Structure 1
Amino acid sequence: MVERQDQPASDRGDNASGSERMCAVSRQSLDPRLLIRFVLSPDSTVVPDLERRLPGRGVWVGCDRRLVEKAVKANTFAKSLKTRAEASSDLAERVDGLMVKRLMGTLSLANKAGLAVSGFEKVSAALDKGPVAVVLHGAEASPDGRSKIDRKFKAIQASRGLTAAIVDVLTIDQMSLAIGRGSVVHAALTPGGLSDRFLEEAERLTRYRSSATEAGNGFSETQSEG
């Protein structure tokens, strides 16, 4: 259970575990996992703190690219911190890039830990063998190839009363680089801590790219009704 506690839009540097923080743009109090923390570097440049661990006062903004863009345009960081704060015009894009990098890094670790399989046939075989925690598709994967895997994955998970998590936020090149193989279009992760972490990172990137109040591509979960 999350402790409900209104906080100012800036803080003193804790990681906000177990308490809510206020978005400096929307003024909504949210779980820190639904926000992005920003801090100032020694030269007063606004820096994203995705792990919520950097020292100093922070400014919290909802995990939504449009809110970050609004914060930059409205000079929200300087207003919240009451000091000079230089936010680059491409800050929202930099946050996106950092999230992609973290997601790729987690996928790479999962692969090194033996949790990943790649290739259409290997993914299909992994589904037959089971269990599979998440199915991945390159963002530009053909609808035909991915639909065959998705239908099979959803049917298997539904028969087990489990969630079918499907992620397509990484490009084929990004998946290939993370896994260390050429042309990785389809992949799957078997259950494990790194697979859970990958899902968390994928969900955050999806939320950032498409408002949490709107349906968006990139990450989906289907749950059986049984």
Structure 2
Amino acid sequence: MGDADERGPLRRCIVTRTQGAPETMLRFVISPDGVLVPDLAARLPGRGIWLSARRDVLDTARTRHLFARAARKVVRVPDDLDMMLHVGLERRAIECLTLARRAGLAVCGFTKCREWIAARRVGRVIHTQGASTDELARLMSGARELPVTEVPSAMLTKAFGRDHAVYAVIAPGVLARRFGIEQERLKGLADEQARDAGYSRVGLEQAGK
């Protein structure tokens, strides 16, 4: 992969050969000792290797040794690469919510969330897997057009410092957009079982450390 692949607004996946916005994809670099390193912020020096944020794409790149082919040298893929990606993405998503909360751009709890929705101050609604369908419908009344994201309960409790949180909202803007992107990358990498169980429980525990 030439340096030209990292110029311009789009990046090309080494597996699918399709192009995408860099913030929606996964970038990797090769360390001096030949180890594959995830670069989720896309800031590390070196020539990047890009993947679409999908479980099947990651598996294909690994099993067909496409990282080494793209780097044109022997590359050691860490055994815990999946965990590294999950932990990193979950940490970034939690960071978005934490920053928004500290800036007064996010709240949790049904009543506060409903007040923000009614005041049209919301860019994204967030709820946990344990949310009641009927209660969520009441929360969203008159605002069904808002994007909604389902997350593991641990994500909200860590971001808001609560023992229990089911609903949260985040104001429109950069942090709401970034949170949505991180969640899409995380969801894309989760296998079916992990998605049903709330992504990676172990990953969330590690992300909070």
Paired position in structure 1 for 2:19: 29
Tell me whether 1:87 sits opposite 2:56 in the alignment: no
Contact 2:94 2:155 in 1 (8 A): yes
CA separation of 1:86 and 1:29: change in aligned 2, threshold 3 A: same
Paired position in structure 1 for 2:206: none
C-alpha separation in 2, matches of 1:72 and 1:81: 13
Contact 1:17 1:32 in 2 (8 A): no
Letter in 2 for 1:164: L
Cα RMSD over matched residues?
A: 2.6
Letter in 2 for 1:44: G
Q: How does 1:108-123 map to 2 (within 5 A)?
A: 108-123=98-113
Letter in 1 for 2:95: G
CA separation of 1:11 and 1:113: change in aligned 2, threshold 3 A: farther
**Runs of 4+ with deviation above 6 angstroms:** none
Tell me whether 1:171 sits opposite 2:152 in the alignment: yes
Paired position in structure 2 for 1:101: 91
Structure 1 residues 32-54: Cα deviation after superposition (integer angstroms, max 9, x where no partner) = 34421111123211111112211
Paired position in structure 1 for 2:121: 131
Paired position in structure 2 for 1:185: 166
Structure 1 residues 52-100: Cα deviation after superposition (integer angstroms, max 9, x where no partner) = 2111122111111221121111111112112121112442342122111
Q: Secondary structure at the match of 1:153?
A: coil
Shift of 1:127: 1.7
Which has a greater percent of helix?
A: 2
Letter in 1 for 2:152: T
Tell me whether 1:72 sits opposite 2:53 in the alignment: no
Paired position in structure 2 for 1:40: 30
Mark the runs of 5 or more structure 1 residues left unpaired by the alignment: 1-9, 155-162, 211-215, 219-226
C-alpha separation in 2, matches of 1:181 and 1:150: 22
Structure 1 residues 126-173: Cα deviation after superposition (integer angstroms, max 9, x where no partner) = 22223211111013323232232234431xxxxxxxx411111x2112
Structure 1 residues 163-216: Cα deviation after superposition (integer angstroms, max 9, x where no partner) = 411111x21121111111221110111234322322332333334448xxxxx9
Shift of 1:15: 9.2
Aligned residue pairs, count: 194
CA separation of 1:63 and 1:175: change in aligned 2, threshold 3 A: same
Highest relative contact order (Cα 8 Å, sep 6+), 1 or 2? 2
| Percent of aligned pairs with the same amino acid | 32
C-alpha separation in 2, matches of 1:100 and 1:15: 27
Deviates more, 1:40-49 or 1:193-202: 193-202
Mark the runs of 5 or more structure 2 residues left unpaired by the alignment: 199-209
Q: Secondary structure at the match of 1:136?
A: strand
Shift of 1:17: 5.7
